[in-house]
Structure 1
Amino acid sequence: MTALTEFQRLEAQGSWRDSPEARLREVVVAVGDATLILTDPKSDVPLSHWSLPAVTRLNPGKLPAIYSPAPDGSDETVEIDDPLMIEAIERVHHAIETRRAHPGRLRGGLTILAGLAMLVAVIVWLPDAIIRHAAGIAPPAQARQIGAAVLEDIERSTGPVCTRASGQAVLDWLTPALVGQNALIRVVPGPLNGALRLPGDLYVLGADLLQGAPGPEAAAGHLVAARLATDPESVRRQALRHAGLRTVLRLMTLGSLSPDALKGFGERLLSDPLPRPDDADLLAALKQAGFGSEAYARTLDPTGQTVLPLIEGDPFRSGPPEKPLLTDEQWLALQQICAG
């Protein structure tokens, strides 16, 4: 018994009853390897062996100490008043208790750990889950509201949306064929080097693609590319993540965005590279829209070296389409959308 390694031999006098009704009898109490041995002092004959782990003290803190192999004292008992023996037995009990498994404590600890893990999961997962849900169920009017807020932030960098009526009328006429019946296209005076698709099917085009260009094909190609390359729910989700959980909850409950909720998001979009669709998908879409891809490709790389598939795969490379995308008058009006 490692708890008693300092004792080579430990014995003490005790008074023993072999049953609750029996008379006390003098015995020698000795601590064995894992037992308490009660011996007749006259004959040295062992009278009883008790398992040390099972020994229970019936009167803690009192002397003589009374021990029994039965917790309720319904079996044998022995009375011991030797301090060293009492200390030895108590030390054994303490060692056993220390090593004994505590299922209740273990369960309690595991419950606390599980609770903490769930709390962390809720803190980490729940906000994003709410944002994903909000992005997925946003009705068209709400999605357009988000897009308008993003456009307002973009205007801080590019200048306000160009509003010349004749040029906007041309854009409105082109919109269904290029990006969809319910979409909106807006032009900003600052350069974008392409087109952006915002939540609510709101498209933003930089005036740099109109001014000085030989025709509308490059700008139209960027609008179609933005439609193909940008998933509408994904861009809504990005915007709502930027706005934060509190704004999203307000949007879901009150149906409105807080002022400046998306401040900085538009500028972030301007700093990110514009997404590009698969070349084959874009070529098919441009063919259906009735114009070629080379003008679009040359805005990406004027040398043409990195966009050869788009140039060589131009659906109208062998000849222009039967009907131009815009008349000369329409193209001129579109070019002047930011004038005056």
Structure 2
Amino acid sequence: MTALTKYERLEATALWRPDDGAQRVDVLLSLGDATLTISDMRENVLNHWSLPAIQRLNPGDRPALFRPGEDATEELELEDDDMIRALEKVRKLVERRRPHPGRLRHWVTAGILLFLLALTVFWLPGALRSYTVSVVPEPSRAAIGQQILTRIGRITGQECRGRGGRMVLTRFARRVTENPDLRVVVLSGGVQSSKHLPGNITLLNRALIEDFEHPDVLAGFLLAEELRRNSTDPLLPVLDHIGLRGTVQLLTTGDLPGAAIDQYAEALLVAPQSELPPTALLSRFEAQNISATPYAYALDLTGETSLDLIEADPVSSTTANPLLSDDDWVRLQGVCGE
């Protein structure tokens, strides 16, 4: 969010309600480049909100009420003028970047019609998807990812929100993947292992944390999911699922049909995990000095189908980076129980 340069390091106090019916608590807010960090009065991080997805519940009224996305249960009550102006500026920036009906829409529609006349029906869908992926801005991607996550939450239940565990997980995931904007969501069920969404969102099954004695397996799944994200644009599977009509709607209006979002969320939960080239995956493990063997045995207890990762593991367990202290690993394992 380069338009918010003058608000760098902006901080304020607010009242935060973590869920419907929960008691409001005093918190500290810190405005970052892409996220709003919510901390308790001892500066322990409670949550991160994606700036492009934040919504105002009572425009023009005070105190200002905000939520982190559509159908979200969290709520912030804010009276600090500078922070309110900064958040409103983000909302206006997102709205300006969103494609609006008008002259651009007519030109795009005309261009689509020309393509339909000039190109074959077998070439057009793929070309249109590629073009759409290249022009959809980050705020729209973040909004789409949040919509999908909200729908998944209705199916699988709310994400695990243990405060201490989430703080450790955020630090751990960003250190392992070197993705500073990564948002990791732990689910009690639904996702078999790991998945990723547009908007730098990674989903994890709680079993990856609770069923293993060391964090090496979790690190492996995070590395693998980040490789999938970097190998294929996360928006492409969404467009493949919604088809030509939904792609045209996204391109011309900036929105996706609600029914298409629901269908994709349900399909994602049951879709098989895509395979990764062992060489590329091993390169990621080597770059982060993490052993691939624990991850390989987590994929297959016998090691037969993941033998390439075991035999060619570039990092031995004795020289691998220590990933977490015992205390932090215990806190992380309690992320779904706090």
> Within the alignment, does 1:174 sit opposite 2:201 as a pair?
no
**2:302 matched to which residue of 1?**
303
Shift of 1:120: 9.4
What is the alpha-carbon root mean square deviation over aligned residues? 2.9
**1:94 matched to which residue of 2?**
none
**1:92 matched to which residue of 2?**
none
Compared with structure 1, are the counterparts of its residues 311 and 127 closer, same or farther at alpha carbon in structure 2 (3 Å cutoff)? Answer: closer
Shift of 1:318: 5.7
Distance 1:242 1:314 in 2: 36
Q: Secondary structure at the match of 2:204?
A: strand
Distance 1:228 1:200 in 2: 15
**2:149 matched to which residue of 1?**
151
**2:128 matched to which residue of 1?**
130
Shift of 1:259: 3.0
Count of residues in correspondence between the two structures:
224
Q: State the one-letter code of the partner of 2:146.
A: A
| Aligned 8 A contact 1:162 1:189 in 2 | yes
Shift of 1:182: 1.9
**2:280 matched to which residue of 1?**
281
Compared with structure 1, are the counterparts of its residues 223 and 276 closer, same or farther at alpha carbon in structure 2 (3 Å cutoff)? Answer: farther
Shift of 1:140: 1.6
Q: Secondary structure at the match of 2:202?
A: strand
> Within the alignment, does 1:239 sit opposite 2:232 as a pair?
no
**1:317 matched to which residue of 2?**
316
> Within the alignment, does 1:270 sit opposite 2:269 as a pair?
yes
Compared with structure 1, are the counterparts of its residues 130 and 247 closer, same or farther at alpha carbon in structure 2 (3 Å cutoff)? Answer: same
Distance 1:224 1:140 in 2: 22
Shift of 1:274: 0.9
Q: Secondary structure at the match of 2:203?
A: strand
Shift of 1:254: 4.3
Q: Deviations over 1:205-245 (max 9, x none)?
A: 11111112111111110111122134565431220243345
Shift of 1:126: 4.7
Shift of 1:189: 0.8
**1:337 matched to which residue of 2?**
335
Q: State the one-letter code of the partner of 2:141.
A: A
Q: Deviations over 1:100-138 (max 9, x none)?
A: xxxxxxxxxxxxxxxxx9659576655554333222222
Compared with structure 1, are the counterparts of its residues 217 and 318 closer, same or farther at alpha carbon in structure 2 (3 Å cutoff)? Answer: closer
**1:165 matched to which residue of 2?**
163
Q: Secondary structure at the match of 1:262?
A: helix
TM-score by length of 1: 0.58
**2:290 matched to which residue of 1?**
291
Shift of 1:296: 0.7
> 1:1-16 alignment to 2 at 5 Å?
none
Q: State the one-letter code of the partner of 1:263.
A: D
Distance 1:118 1:317 in 2: 55
**2:204 matched to which residue of 1?**
205
Q: Secondary structure at the match of 2:262?
A: coil
Shift of 1:161: 1.7
Q: Percent identity?
A: 30
**1:11 matched to which residue of 2?**
none
Compared with structure 1, are the counterparts of its residues 191 and 300 closer, same or farther at alpha carbon in structure 2 (3 Å cutoff)? Answer: farther
Distance 1:168 1:241 in 2: 32
Distance 2:116 2:255 in 1: 32
Q: Deviations over 1:175-216 (max 9, x none)?
A: 333331222111111153421122222111111111121111
Distance 1:307 1:272 in 2: 20
| Aligned 8 A contact 1:283 1:315 in 2 | yes
| Aligned 8 A contact 1:192 1:208 in 2 | no
Distance 1:312 1:130 in 2: 42
Distance 1:284 1:134 in 2: 31
**1:327 matched to which residue of 2?**
325
Q: Secondary structure at the match of 1:261?
A: helix
Q: Secondary structure at the match of 1:186?
A: strand
Shift of 1:277: 1.9
Distance 2:283 2:289 in 1: 10
| Aligned 8 A contact 2:116 2:124 in 1 | no
Q: Secondary structure at the match of 1:187?
A: strand
Distance 2:244 2:192 in 1: 32
Q: Secondary structure at the match of 2:210?
A: coil
Q: Secondary structure at the match of 2:212?
A: coil
Distance 2:116 2:187 in 1: 47
Distance 1:279 1:220 in 2: 16
TM-score by length of 2: 0.58
Higher mean C-alpha deviation, range 158-167 or range 256-265: 256-265
Distance 2:276 2:312 in 1: 15
